[in-house]
Amino acid sequence: MGAFAGVDAVTVLRQGLRVAQMNHRVIANNVANVETPNYNSVSLDFQKTLRAAIEGRDRVSLRKTQDRHLDGARELPEFEHLAILSKNDYNKVDLDTEMAKLSENTGKYMLYSSLVVKHFQQVKNLLNNIR
């Protein structure tokens, strides 16, 4: 059986919404600190966090789930560090990446909330038709 055996759609969606909200806060914090000297950008591994939240594995707190590194496939090639280093203050926030992550995360949030609405509409239809 699949990875989500025994878990209903509403749980997945609710946890997805929570993780998306958390991720939003992480990204917003990075963007707010774009000019802070010595600040390292923080990123959240969405899939890992979502899985942990669905399985109810320990309280999903920001401290436990943050990764300082994006996954290996998205490692910055060597010269692209120039754009960040030119800030001269050891700040590591790449605004372009943060904005793109923000856009993706917002899309996920809207998707999950639309699916939740759809789910409850279906439940309502079902209840209406039973009568």
Q: In the numeric block, which tokens belong to residue 60?
A: 């999903």
Pick left, alpha or beta for residue 93 (phi over 0 → left; psi -120 to 50 → alpha; otherwise beta): beta
Return the sign of the alpha-carbon dihedral for residues 2, 110, 64, 38. Answer: positive
Tell whether residue 118 is a contact of another protein (CB under 8 A).
Answer: yes
Amino acid at residue number 56: G
Task: Decide: is 3 part of the binding site for another protein (CB under 8 A).
Answer: no
Asked if residue 123 binds another protein (CB under 8 A), the reply is no
The answer to whether the beta carbons of residues 34 and 91 sit under 8 Å apart is yes
Residue 86 binds another protein, judged by CB under 8 A: yes
Instruction: Tell me how far the alpha carbon of residue 18 is from its chain's centroid.
Output: 9
Residue from the set 10, 28, 117, 123 that interacts with another protein by CB under 8 A: 117
Task: Based on the shown chain and the rule CB under 8 A, indicate whether residue 114 belongs to the binding site for another protein.
Answer: yes
- Name residue 120's beta-bridge partners: none
Contact range with another protein by CB under 8 A, out of 15-23, 29-37, 42-50, 111-119:
111-119
Binding positions for another protein, rule: CB under 8 A? 73-74, 76-77, 79-80, 82-83, 86, 94, 96-97, 99-100, 103-104, 107, 110-111, 114-115, 117-118
